[in-house]
Structure 1
Amino acid sequence: MSATSHQQHHRRRRSYAFVAGAAALATAGALAAALPATASASSQKHGGGHHVSRYQDVQLLSFNDLHGNLEPPAGSSGRVTELQPDGTTKTIDAGGVEYLATHLRQAREGEKYSITAAGGDMVGASPLISGLFHDEPTIEALNKLDLDVTSVGNHEFDEGARELARLQNGGCHPTAGCYTDEKFTGADFPYLAANVLNEKSGKPILKPYWVWKKRDVKIGFIGVTLEDTPGVVSAEGVKGLKFKDEVETINKYARVLQRQGVKSIVALIHEGGQPASAAYNYNCDAPGAGDGISGPIADIAKNITPSVDALVTGHTHAAYVCTIPDPSGKPRMVTSAASFGRLYTDTTLTYDRFTGDIARTAVKSANRVVTRDVPKAPDMTALISKWNTLAAPIGNRAIGYISADIPSTGTESPLGDLIADAQLAYGKELDPETDLALMNPGGIRAPLTYAAKGSEGDGVVTYAEGFTVQPFSNTLNLQDLTGAQLIQVLKEQVSGTNAASPKILQISSGLTYTLDLTKSGADRVVTDSIKLNGAAIDPAATYRVAMNNFLAGGGDGFPTLGQGTNDLVGTDDLTVLEKYLTANSSATSPIAPSAADRITVVR
């Protein structure tokens, strides 16, 4: 698309009516049954005798969990898995807003009815180019992408509701001020937060829904985030807020939209599931594919009113385009486009002008790869260059050296070991009696990659890379826990709220135990196997434990960590990692990936 035609599209999009409330997002699915035989011939007469088709295809482009990844994400975070016709798989490099913009603009060409929606976590846990500037660069990029609407995600609350309101409405940051001479104007698109209420007023903190209109076609969007947001965000970030049930909220606002005459409805839900395959193009509706998706979104989808026509989801960073039956038993599209801008979902919603509803049997959807073999969008290149220039003095500083990629995935990851060891070392600086460190896996946002980036050399770890790994600015805290409490914490990894989706803590050197996946619930952690420096944990003894403030507050489903005593608050976790890398690596003696053998896994 030429620059001129893109600007015309932008102006045209802004002319769409914002109806009070209403949400927007994309739908997905591979429900490709044909329209009724008479559909293509059906038409109705408008004023002046003009005939239009009864059925109007509306393009819905959607993505989720961008997390401020403006530049192509590195390592495994920048690849997707593609299933081949012969059953094998291959990986494809993907992502980067310069390429995402080109793909979206090409997809819109020739489409007179096109909506672009997102499923939350557009910002938060972002790389330095965005996170250093409180994600203003990402909002600018999303404006240029012509995003129409998005749900909030849990990471939109990392800095609290006031900062989210600033991202929506604009203005300089309250403490950091303005970063450029240009005033930050905020998002051109509405953030939808139907189930996030102000505790005092009981009202949604942002619009609960939004209606997209063009000529006689109107589609409503309802946006929610996961009800458990307080369990995955710091207490300060959700202070004064109440998070309501996703199904109850969506069903409530679906009735509101219907009373306003809006019959076509898409739910943007920042909650997701796990598909049976990691391949983005896996057909989870194929015979023998089973349930297709497991996890929270499966139950949510089965209970949302049939008046909602499609679900755009997120949060789990998985890729799927599946159908799940609604309460009436009718298949309904449920989609997710992985994360970091590596994919987008292209859905066709067929609008029936006679009924004002979506003809669900004609909905078809597929995930598309944001490949890097297309021209870069010049406006995005300029945006990245602008913010990189401002970030360079901070981001390009070398903080350490590695001998190979240090992965961040797996039950126990080499990067998890490295971070836990760094926290233990810092803990001992604060208090020599510190015994061990625990790190939540969700706080490790990317791997460390060996290959050179830009002007840095192979194996150099820059501050920008460290920021991408640990962007939350959590403090490192020390707490006293009894041995009994420590054992309970390890069991909480696989029980309670973490029973269905275990959260395996990354542990420092010296702590070992066995995780027996043939068992269920808390029994998966073998109590007799838990040892510190070769000695069994004494339930009656007191242990000094280092962890970030999120865990120290009982976050991620670890209530026992919220019961620690004798708190001592240290510096931020990125500084802790930087200190460790600087002290323990050099160009001639880089850090090698660990064997990741502290947790023995029995399958």
Structure 2
Amino acid sequence: MKPLNRTALLLVTSALALTACAPSGEVRYAPEAVDITVLGLNDFHGNLQPTSFTRAGEKTAISAGGVEAIAAEVNDARKANPNTILVGGGDLIGASPAISSLLRDEPSVYALNQIGLKVSSLGNHEFDQGLKELFRMQNGGCDSNDTTKACKFDPNYSGATFKWLGANVTYKADGTTPFLPYSIQDIGGAKVAFIGAVTVSTTGLVSPEGIKELNFLDEADSVNKYIPELKAAKVDAIVMLIHEGGEISTGAGDNYSTVGCKTLKSDSPIVQIAKRVDPAVTAIISGHSHQGYNCLVPDPKGNDRIVIQGDFYGHLLQRLNLTVDKANHEVMQASAQNVVVDYTARKANNTLDFGMTQLVTTADAKTTAVKSVFVANLGVPQIQRGISNARNTESALGDVIADAQVFATQAQGTQISLMNPGGIRADLPDTTQIKANNAINFGDVFAVQPFGNTMVVMDLTGQQIKDVLEQQWTGGNATAVKLLQVSEGFSYSYTDAAPAGSKINIADVKFNGAPINPTGTYRVAVNNFLAAGGDFFSVFTQGKNVIQLPNLADVDAFAQYLKAKGSTLTNTVKGRIIKK
């Protein structure tokens, strides 16, 4: 675009009383507006198929998400506005159900390629298998740390055509970035910059060995570092993609359907980050906390800015509606909404994407022999992991998993088991998979515990057990409480109003009805992620007489218990954790 000539500029100035220059002396041009649709997908976790979702204010669940419906939704948006782009908020892979995980998430990458995803922030789960394997997922090839799964979907796995972004991920050795910090996309002739970051807490959320080369730096500082560079490139808009989130303070009633909400908890990580990110960023597409919200958070100048997240597993697509002026490189208007990806309705209307149906059918066929193996009949149709996937309460499924880990490690003398709630990824089974006679198969079990963790048994003193329980509210868990699920015979109470570090009286921590002995020794079973200090539970690394059980996966321990006890199990929270 050329500047207006002097005569035209004078005419415009006199007719409209406009100035030819901004206060800084910058020349202004005749506006050239472009309407842009940005669709965001966060925390997909390889869910190629739909899962249950309940709309706000309704009681009956629908099937939502799944790549057949996601692709159809994106296609419809592109038909309505050719200037549409699909981007990601991290955790696109990792912690995935069997249809994707047993094939090393390669079908999920291919599905996102075909749907036309352009860029995504990194998520902590992208690092589950380490940096080298993440590079393979990005770039292709079969040199994997698990050759039993890699290149079984496509023997010539070609990698992601989209780019993972990580402005705050650097090499410890030299400070360089292993991933692009940002990507400038041409959308309808406008230049929109997407800059990505992953939660700084990634260091406590994945195996330390897999990320030992990397630093995860402050998210806001890292993004702000690149803003001058993007301004110099004369981009027309900047959108931040970040795998970090928040929680709504008013409860489940105020969720994705609330437009412009201002009820994100003030201590939520995403709120603290958003308040520090440069005002040049128009909107923030977030993830990680698995919540649906469409909120406004003040930027450093006190102006409201869009901060949005779309639930998880593809149930919602975040939608930004931007009008940008590509002549003067600025955003004229911005609004946001969350769009329900209604698989149930699309299947009934025969509007699912056929290409994605073919991909899902292929992936399903390659994994069905493992997934369809019968495990047990439960005593109820479903055992749940908690309301709205809450990780700060005891759940019926958490109780069962902790009991299963004691059951499977009896030969190692286990007395107590503790289970991290973030490792419980689905109800048993998902509402969409409830079967006759309350039957469950291995696919249902795998969906609950898909990480491939193995069991570890160790000695902890009573004081160490108390200390690890206190870590549920400290350090990296201070703003996102993670209540460890506990096994039968073990119980404790806590005072929610007490300060962090002093929420539990050791006299209220009991084993077989008696207070634990601070100096006594107890055999405790956990998965290898927790044993390494995962989820910021560093006390586990102090355990003694540690027995690693590399041939006992947590999912197999769970399946063993279900085979033995399935018909006796109910969807009942046992009351082992008591809030005062």
Scaled by the length of structure 2, the TM-score of the pair is 0.88
Q: Which amino acid aligns with 2:202?
A: T
SS in 1 for 2:548: strand
Distance (Å, rounded) in 1 between the aligned partners of 2:154 and 2:37: 37
Once the two structures are superposed, what CA deviation does each residue of 1:87-134 show, in whole Å capped at 9, x if it has no partner?
Answer: x87755422211111111112213131111110000000000000011
Aligned: 1:445 with 2:425: yes
Q: Which amino acid aligns with 1:486?
A: I
Scaled by the length of structure 1, the TM-score of the pair is 0.85
Which of 436, 439, 462 is matched with 1:460 structurally? 439
Once the two structures are superposed, what CA deviation does each residue of 1:450-473 show, in whole Å capped at 9, x if it has no partner?
Answer: 86849x644122111111111111
Aligned: 1:398 with 2:364: no
Q: Which amino acid aligns with 1:407?
A: Q
Q: Which amino acid aligns with 1:135?
A: D
Aligned: 1:98 with 2:95: no
Shift in Å at residue 232 of structure 1? 0.9
Q: Which amino acid aligns with 2:32?
A: R
Which of 210, 218, 227 is matched with 1:237 structurally? 210
Corresponding residue number in structure 2 for 1:224: 197
| Equivalent residues of 2:83, 2:188 under 8 A apart | no
| Equivalent residues of 2:394, 2:573 under 8 A apart | no
Equivalent positions of 1:484-523 (< 5 A) are 484-523=463-502
Shift in Å at residue 593 of structure 1? 2.9
Corresponding residue number in structure 1 for 2:342: 371
Structure 2: gaps (5+ residues): 1-14, 17-28
**Cα 1:244–1:275 shift into 2, 3 Å:** same
Corresponding residue number in structure 1 for 2:416: 436
Distance (Å, rounded) in 2 between the aligned partners of 1:93 and 1:451: 9
Shift in Å at residue 482 of structure 1? 1.0
Q: Which has the higher contact order (CA 8 A, sep 6+)?
A: 1
Shift in Å at residue 290 of structure 1? 4.8
| Equivalent residues of 1:284, 1:291 under 8 A apart | no
Corresponding residue number in structure 2 for 1:321: 294
SS in 2 for 1:596: coil
**Cα 1:151–1:384 shift into 2, 3 Å:** same
Shift in Å at residue 370 of structure 1? 0.6
Equivalent positions of 1:136-535 (< 5 A) are 136-174=106-144, 175-176=147-148, 177-180=150-153, 183-214=156-187, 216-276=189-249, 277-278=251-252, 279-283=254-258, 285=260, 290=263, 294-359=267-332, 362-372=333-343, 373-374=345-346, 375-404=351-380, 405-409=382-386, 411-429=393-411, 431-432=412-413, 434-449=414-429, 453=433, 457-535=436-514
Q: Which amino acid aligns with 2:415?
A: D
| Equivalent residues of 2:201, 2:476 under 8 A apart | no
Aligned: 1:577 with 2:558: yes
Aligned: 1:57 with 2:28: no
SS in 2 for 1:141: helix
Q: Which amino acid aligns with 1:413?
A: S
Shift in Å at residue 547 of structure 1? 0.3
Shift in Å at residue 497 of structure 1? 3.0
Corresponding residue number in structure 1 for 2:98: 128
Distance (Å, rounded) in 1 between the aligned partners of 2:114 and 2:41: 15
- Residue correspondences, number: 538
Distance (Å, rounded) in 2 between the aligned partners of 1:598 and 1:192: 42
Equivalent positions of 1:107-118 (< 5 A) are 107-118=77-88
Corresponding residue number in structure 2 for 1:46: none
Corresponding residue number in structure 2 for 1:5: none
| Percent of aligned pairs sharing the same letter | 38
Shift in Å at residue 499 of structure 1? 2.7
SS in 2 for 1:481: strand
Distance (Å, rounded) in 2 between the aligned partners of 1:183 and 1:233: 28
Q: Which amino acid aligns with 2:56?
A: E
Shift in Å at residue 368 of structure 1? 0.7
SS in 1 for 2:405: helix
Aligned: 1:539 with 2:521: no
Shift in Å at residue 251 of structure 1? 0.4
Distance (Å, rounded) in 2 between the aligned partners of 1:441 and 1:450: 17
| Equivalent residues of 2:36, 2:187 under 8 A apart | no
Shift in Å at residue 173 of structure 1? 4.7
SS in 2 for 1:306: coil
User: Which range moved further: 405-414 or 382-391?
Assistant: 405-414
**Cα 1:91–1:517 shift into 2, 3 Å:** farther
Shift in Å at residue 52 of structure 1? 8.8
Distance (Å, rounded) in 2 between the aligned partners of 1:407 and 1:61: 31
Distance (Å, rounded) in 1 between the aligned partners of 2:570 and 2:321: 48
Kindly report the root-mean-square deviation, in angstroms, between the aligned alpha carbons of the 2 structures. 2.4
| Equivalent residues of 1:452, 1:459 under 8 A apart | no
Aligned: 1:554 with 2:533: yes
| Equivalent residues of 2:291, 2:309 under 8 A apart | yes
**Cα 1:54–1:180 shift into 2, 3 Å:** closer
